[in-house]
Amino acid sequence: MSDINPIASHEYDASQIQILEGLEAVRKRPGMYIGSTSESGLHHLVYEIVDNAIDEALAGYCNKIEVTIEPGDVICVTDNGRGVPVDIQEQSGKPALEVVYTVLHAGGKFGGGGYKVSGGLHGVGASVVNALSEWLEVNVHKNGNIYQIKFCRGDIIEDMTVIGKTDRTGTCVRFKPDSRIFDTTDFNYETLRVRMREQAFLNAGLHIVTQDLRPNRERRDTMHYEGGIRAFVAYINQNKTPIHDEVIYMSGERNGSAAEVAIQYHDGYNEVLASFANNIHTPEGGMHETGFKSAVTKVINAYAQSANMLKDGEKLTGDDCREGLTAVLSVKLEEPQFEGQTKAKLGNSEIRTLVESVVSEKLSTYFEENPTVARKIIEKALMAARAREAAKKARENVRRKNALEGSTLPGKLADCNERDPALTEIYIVEGDSAGGSAKQGRDSRFQAILPLWGKMLNVEKARADRIYNNDKLTPVITALGAGIGEDFDLSRLRYHKVIIMADADVDGSHIRTLLLTFFFRFMRPLIENGHVYAAQPPLFKLERGKQVRYAFSDEERDRISAEMRGPDGRAKVDISRNKGLGEMDFHELWETTMNPETRILKRITLTDAIQADEIFTVLMGEKVEPRREFIEKNARYVENLDI
């Protein structure tokens, strides 16, 4: 029997209070500083260092930045700015270079005159990256000397020393993320390139070079856009058909803050609004977006009213006014109030007033001077309003029909018994035969099956009213139970895992892409919150006597085949290519694709809305040439393709 006092052992006293010295707090709770320790947090390390270089560009001292992925998961960020200060920092008595990389909330962004406008307002970026790196070294070119300092997991291992002479200025930071901290340390080149492309657009004239030096992954891109955010909008719309040629540009300043906006409407139905504050992407928006949306709605309604384009009492909603709009909004301010270290949302109320006044004044003037463009934009908004009304009627008809039939669930749905959505999953299956096997093979306690049949609607070319009337998509909407578009409510989702199960061939890929396009355009929170998955059926079946195994790639097929042959290697292993889900019996389907213990699911993520919009537009839009170019460019990355 234990002699520990159960009451005393749970006392809360001073001995249980920990003081985390230096950068210990960052290593203890990394998510507080970089959002997560997943792939997104890993890439956030790079953004923190690049943001410091961008701040030099904002201040007018830097015009080139290089971001390199080196072999061994090492990142190198080099700029030609002024170089991190190396003289003694008065409060600490240590070189400023050491302080910047070892002390939280230390930097030139707290009113000391280092920077007027900055993205890194918290002063924790460099020190956080240092704390979360296995090692980090900084070389500073300044005062004719090259200064170097080295760290290991946030601790100094080599004090600042002069290692040579130089005739230039700038900073070079090399670091290797700590594998003890991160789930993965494998950097995604495309993720970094997209982020750096944003920065090049936002800083007209700045050269940014990204390169990958890892074996068999070598790549280099140089980005430089004199047109700034005008060029950004034109880039986003390159695979769309604009309804007016000119990108409309507006800018203004007030009390040390500045706002610039570029917009262009296209003939599609989807809105892309990319907002930034001090060059930091704000995916959750904030006050600057609120001001922009309010102004656009007011200006369009006011012009439509004055041009007698509205019926008595008719009013266009914000969604009507932004249908087919591509906009980039960039604000610069001295004291940004970001929500959280990852800076996803801007909270400054005064920036709303600035953006709203700039857009209201400049867009009104533009409409007065360009009435043809104004009328095209308003006619598009009126069409959106009519489609909204049609969608509302279609939605009501669906509800009425379901009420009359006494059931809101589609007839082909084989529902599960569990009623807690967090414990359930639905397989959306291509074809009735595969659907039949899935229904037989499933675990009906928590797995629901919805077979799809016939050709699905390409929603890239359709409005919401057509979707409500589409007999292929209505069952999906009804089964999930969360609605679509502006009515989508994640809290009503009936299954927390939505799994697309299609054949591993071209037709299956097409079905998957059509469904993902639908989810992206009309149920985006489903993807954003990690509820959408793609099932991975095996590509090969391997048999030796009564022994049966499955392989999901060519490499796995070869490895398993060698294992099954055994050490003598002469045994015969029959290998067959799986033709389709419908040809598997229900035992095989369960064991390979549906059993949570053995299946492989790929979660569909939305890491970059602008890039995702671009890809869906290319793959599912009207223009053929961009689609051909995309396929030709990316064909070499496809591991298995049946034609």
Q: Which residues are catalytic?
A: 430, 503, 505, 507
Alpha carbon 421 to its chain centroid, in Å, reads 25
User: For 252-287, b where at least 16 C-beta lie within 10 A, e where not — what string?
Assistant: beeeebbbbbbbbbbebbbbbbbbbbbbbbbbebbb
Q: 3-class DSSP state for residue 500? A: strand
- DSSP 3-state of 78: strand
Which tokens belong to 139? 């070389």
| CA distance to 130, 539, 573, per residue, from 558 (Å) | 42, 12, 11
- The residue with tokens 């003694």 is 88
Cα R_g (the chain), whole angstroms: 28
CB atoms within 10 A of CB 361: 14
Question: CA–CA separation, 281 vs 275, rounded Å?
Answer: 6
The two structure tokens encoding residue 579: 């033709």
Give me the residues paired with residue 76 across strands: 68, 174
d(CA 280, CA 339): 12
> In 3D, which of 621, 612, 623, 619 has the Cα closest to residue 634?
619
Say if strands 497-501 and 425-430 run parallel, antiparallel, or are unpaired: parallel
| CA–CA dist 632, 639 (Å, integer) | 14
Distance CA(208)–CA(194), nearest Å, equals 11
Q: Which residue has the tokens 């709605």?
A: 297
Strands (E), 469-581: 497-501, 532-535, 540-544, 547-551, 574-577
- What's the residue count for the chain? 643
Q: Residue 55: which residues within 8 A CB-CB, separation 6 or more?
A: 109, 115, 117, 118, 119, 120
- Residue 408 one-letter amino acid: T
Alpha-carbon gap, residue 277 to 289, rounded angstroms: 10
Q: Which residue in 246, 255, 507, 541 sits closest to 515, CA to CA?
A: 507
